[in-house]
Structure 1
Amino acid sequence: MSVHHSSDSSDSVGAASTVAPTQDLEKAFADGQNKELAQQDVQDTAIDKFRVELSPEEDPKNMSVFRKWLAVLVISTAAFCVTSCSSAAAFTEEGTQIDFGASTEVAILGVSLFVQGLGLGPLLAGPLSELYGRNVVYRASFFLFWVFTFPVAFAPNMAVFLVFRWITGFCGAAFLSVAGGSIGDMFANHEVATPMALFTVSPFIGPAVGPLIAGFITQHTTWRWLYRVFLIWNFLQVVCLILFVRETYAPVLLKWKAARLRKSENDSRYYCGLDRHDGLWDSIKKSCYVPFQLIVLDRMALLLDLWSALLLGILYLAFQVFPIIFGVGHHFNTQSVGMSFLGIGIGMVVAVACTPFWNSVYRRETEKHKGSPPPEMRLLIGMVGAVITPISLFWLAFTTYPHVHWIVPIIASVFLGLGIVFCFTAVFTYLVVAYRPVAASAMAGNTFIRTTFAAAFPLFAGQMYNKLGTVGATALLAGLTTIIAPLPFIFYRIGARLRASSKFAAA
């Protein structure tokens, strides 16, 4: 009997490295935790006829174009749903304070705890996906996300509300850490850029659209109806995940095929690389230990993590600040305050639309370096973002006066969204390429620090803006981004030297 095998599907990710967050995690899985397994597969296949391989018709890359894009659409809307839910809670704070008698700081925890759950979830979702596949993680996590939204929507007190906000964030994290891998599984190198760009914009645009949805709902009904709407949306997503998204992770498909062959042929010699994979507990320990070791011992990784963390903290701070700027200063009603976030969202969409330009820049750099460009070229987009971000924040700061037309700070927020995505793209792609041997851990550590800042920043937004005013507080944030702006320029020049002295980075 002939037995077939395809190369690891995660190898298809390289063509779209400028569309950062999701593709980076896929490359992290390929180049980090699964690289050794893939190399062993190649060695064993040459000498062992019982080494199981996928036939062409079993390869996810050979699915129909319609089925591939349908899966991309479902996965993208799931990620969009999760991140929309993260920020939408900012518009339920007043309602929970009234219903539960909570303080402002406690009500803000509805956002903070959800985001912290998003940061910790990948530490479990990643190892699970390596052993059991993408689909079981998708379906189980989103089903739990739906189930645990019920206690949020019908919470009898603030404690129940907050506990299940953290749990739902933890469950929804799979779509930020695993989902990009499915796209890399399904599309070849020359095809992956467009679907990955579509997926990338989904978790970015979600936090900007969440307040828009919440503003319209809470303007006309109670805060509980916001979560009831998410319950309906979550249920539809679960159904779509079951019906339209198949398993695409090659090592798991091989594991299933090897099991079928052992049973049908009554021969226990059929096997695949995943049969020798470390156990789940060992994978979880590794996913929890190495990221923090990297943060503590590698200064370049730490500074890049802090840069992206500051930017995400500022983004989530906006969910507390825009109601002050536009609600108090310009007398917007609730739904109009929600619409004020459209500026950030438009900027993020424009940033992703710039992907073809940056791909052309990287192609020229690759040709200039004869096919082996240094990882530091990934920081070029970050240089632009590092300049745009503080300029947009200073612009926003000095146009928050009530006598300045509201469209002026909205336009500033467009450039803020653009700059943030450029900076994130640089950090994510550089971490994956420069720390290739431990790429998954580098991204996990970055996610933890980013979400910690995003969870903490909203908690002091009110006090800071009350004490410093909208101009002074926003200018302070602009000053912080100005101080850290030289980082990509510095690492572009000395990154190679720092990598050479690092025990984690690729030489």
Structure 2
Amino acid sequence: MLTTDSNKATEIRQAAAKHHGLPLLPRPTDDERDPLRWPRSLKLAALIATAFVNFTANFAGAGLSVASPVLQAQFHKTPNQVNSLLTFNFLLLGVGNLFWVPLGVKFGKRASLLISTLILFAVLVWTAKETAFAGLLAARCLSGFASAAGESIVPSIVTDIFFLHEHAAMMSWYTILVSSATAIGPLVASFIVQYSRGGWVDYVWVCAALAGANTVAIYFLYPESNFNRPKEPLHRVSVTGEDADKVQVVKTETISRHRVSVVSKSWFSIWTSVFTINREINILEVALRPLKMLLRPSVLLATFIYGTSLASQIILIFAFPSLLLAPPYLFSSSQVGLMQIAAIIGFSIGCFAGGYIADIITAVVIRRQTGNVYPEQRLVALIPGCLVAPAGCILIAFACSDKLHWVAIAFGFGMVSFGTIYAPNIAITYVVECYPRVVAECLVAINVFKNLVAFLFLYTAVDWVASSGWTQVYMIMFMLVSLSMLLAIPFYFFGPKWRGQVDISNVSEE
């Protein structure tokens, strides 16, 4: 009997070690439709196929920033008029969430993503063929609207198919593809604009090809993941605390809490299904939920963190051409694009730290707090990297103002880009775990208003830098980014109380 119990305990510890010492949360159901029971390979394929929607959206949206001088000459427009091709695309990228998410809740996330990427492909073909500035502006607005589907739907797919101990790591794929595209797009566009005969038009054709590939990948690799999961009470994991670094789960109801019974899913069943209609959903009520969720303090915190982090990074992308093409740098278009390598390095480090490392930190906090599990534990993971982005803002402020060596600017750009991934990924994961049954609606609120915050900065970015100077602009950004980090402190202590009781269209959370 003792031997059997010992073997069972060993088996439990070995299973728990694979997910940072925690049981599987939320618990998989016995329903064969439960996406938590999908094979691991299918989960990863679905994540990659859907997350690349965000990459294409921002790749197409940000790439034309390096073509601003060419567009000004071609259409005889001022820098601010050409800038509207970028800023309004970005604004509609947020507003479009208000349409695509209710569609995804009512008719399925798969249908919403397929329709949006197909529209995006058609609009990008139109963009490449357009010869009038007014038509080009209209196409850019519509492409931003079509691109919006992935912004809120993809993070909710992460919570549909992955467990708590995987959330930040898997969410980091979403965040890095959203953010890195704003660097990779201008990098690729800079070479195409400088060396391709078709210039910026050829770049748009590349974006159209990516949108077409997105549509095909989603159709073949992503099954519908909407699932009405039973509501669970707050979790408690029993642990020992003799050695905080080596603590193990020692008590659990059954070994099944550490293992999932995988259900195979045929490819044919995926390919023959597009719409999954939920007749109990009132689409108008779903459309109003994001406005209600915006009143929740945790959603406001994530919006502020994401909006300020994103604005501090994208202002540089928009203002780089006017800085680096002029003396003393005299960069070519391709050299301006190569500055994005610094951002890609920052994104990569931020992805690892804000994803996998954040999951480990959260698991350690849970085990040290006697096994209690609550969303505010996520915020502790902000501590290791919270100073990087504010320090990057200071470096950018003085490096650009005093025309220091381009290496100093690149280093600051990388630090700011790190913050664009690191803090928002943790903040989004925190909100997702606060309100798991209304994830998409929360993310709509976050994406609409963080894009609005960023739009307000970006719409005036070029003129603001020209009139006020780099020092003033980036010291203000330093203040805002630092404030967003400091606000996480009261949320750690009072967040459970502030979350309160939410009752939205028959969907309740605690």
Q: Deviations over 1:460-485 (max 9, x none)?
A: 11222112323333233223333444
- Specify the code of the residue in structure 2 equivalent to 1:137: S
- Is 1:393 the counterpart of 2:387? The answer is no
- Is 1:426 the counterpart of 2:426? The answer is yes
Q: Is the 8 A contact 2:51 2:174 kept in 1?
A: yes
Which range moves more in the overlay, 167-176 or 232-241? 232-241
Written as runs of structure 1 = structure 2, the 5 A alignment for 1:233-272 is 233-250=210-227
| Match among 207, 216, 222 for residue 230 of structure 1 | 207
1:364 aligns with: 364
- Specify the code of the residue in structure 1 equivalent to 2:498: L
In structure 2, distance between residues paired with 1:386 and 1:235: 38
2:153 aligns with: 178
1:472 aligns with: 472
In structure 2, distance between residues paired with 1:441 and 1:184: 13
- Specify the code of the residue in structure 2 equivalent to 1:337: V
- Is 1:123 the counterpart of 2:98? The answer is yes
1:486 aligns with: 486
Q: Please, which runs of 5 or more residues in structure 1 have no aligned partner?
A: 1-14, 17-26, 32-37, 43-52, 253-259, 261-272
- Is 1:88 the counterpart of 2:91? The answer is no
2:118 aligns with: 143
1:48 aligns with: none
Q: Deviations over 1:248-297 (max 9, x none)?
A: 44579xxxxxxx9xxxxxxxxxxxx975512xxx32x33432332343x4
1:23 aligns with: none
SS of alignment partner, residue 446 of structure 2 = helix
1:306 aligns with: 304
- Is 1:442 the counterpart of 2:442? The answer is yes
SS of alignment partner, residue 185 of structure 2 = helix
Q: Is the 8 A contact 2:347 2:417 kept in 1?
A: yes
What is the deviation of 1:63? Answer: 5.7
What is the deviation of 1:338? Answer: 1.2
SS of alignment partner, residue 178 of structure 1 = helix
Q: 1:122 to 1:388 in 2, by over 3 A?
A: same
| Match among 158, 171, 179 for residue 133 of structure 2 | 158
How many residues get paired?
436
Q: Is the 8 A contact 1:112 1:454 kept in 2?
A: no
In structure 2, distance between residues paired with 1:304 and 1:499: 13
1:7 aligns with: none
Q: Is the 8 A contact 2:106 2:278 kept in 1?
A: no
SS of alignment partner, residue 124 of structure 1 = helix
In structure 2, distance between residues paired with 1:145 and 1:292: 26
- Specify the code of the residue in structure 2 equivalent to 1:230: C
In structure 1, distance between residues paired with 2:114 and 2:127: 20
2:258 aligns with: none
In structure 1, distance between residues paired with 2:166 and 2:495: 31
Q: 1:138 to 1:445 in 2, by over 3 A?
A: closer
Q: Is the 8 A contact 1:119 1:451 kept in 2?
A: yes
Which range moves more in the overlay, 88-97 or 358-367? 88-97
Q: Is the 8 A contact 1:312 1:454 kept in 2?
A: yes
| Match among 147, 163, 184 for residue 209 of structure 1 | 184
Q: 1:289 to 1:200 in 2, by over 3 A?
A: same
- Specify the code of the residue in structure 2 equivalent to 1:165: R
Q: Deviations over 1:363-411 (max 9, x none)?
A: 1221233332343222223344442221111012222256632112211
SS of alignment partner, residue 373 of structure 2 = coil
- Specify the code of the residue in structure 1 equivalent to 2:202: W
Question: Given the two structures, how large is their TM-score scaled by the length of structure 1?
Answer: 0.76
SS of alignment partner, residue 400 of structure 2 = coil
Q: Deviations over 1:478-498 (max 9, x none)?
A: 233334442112322333443
What is the deviation of 1:134? Answer: 2.7
- Specify the code of the residue in structure 2 equivalent to 1:226: Y
Q: 1:482 to 1:75 in 2, by over 3 A?
A: closer
Q: Is the 8 A contact 2:376 2:496 kept in 1?
A: yes
Written as runs of structure 1 = structure 2, the 5 A alignment for 1:327-346 is 327-328=325-326, 329-346=328-345
What is the deviation of 1:322? Answer: 2.0
Q: Is the 8 A contact 1:85 1:210 kept in 2?
A: yes
Q: Is the 8 A contact 2:67 2:190 kept in 1?
A: no
Q: Deviations over 1:78-123 (max 9, x none)?
A: 3211111121121233233222222222211111121122212222
Q: Please, which runs of 5 or more residues in structure 2 have no aligned partner?
A: 1-18, 230-268, 270-275
What is the deviation of 1:435? Answer: 4.5
SS of alignment partner, residue 373 of structure 1 = coil
2:245 aligns with: none
Q: 1:208 to 1:275 in 2, by over 3 A?
A: closer
Higher helix fraction (1 or 2): 1
Q: 1:292 to 1:489 in 2, by over 3 A?
A: same
Q: Is the 8 A contact 1:114 1:167 kept in 2?
A: yes
- Is 1:75 the counterpart of 2:50? The answer is yes
2:314 aligns with: 316
- Specify the code of the residue in structure 1 equivalent to 2:214: Q
In structure 1, distance between residues paired with 2:305 and 2:225: 34
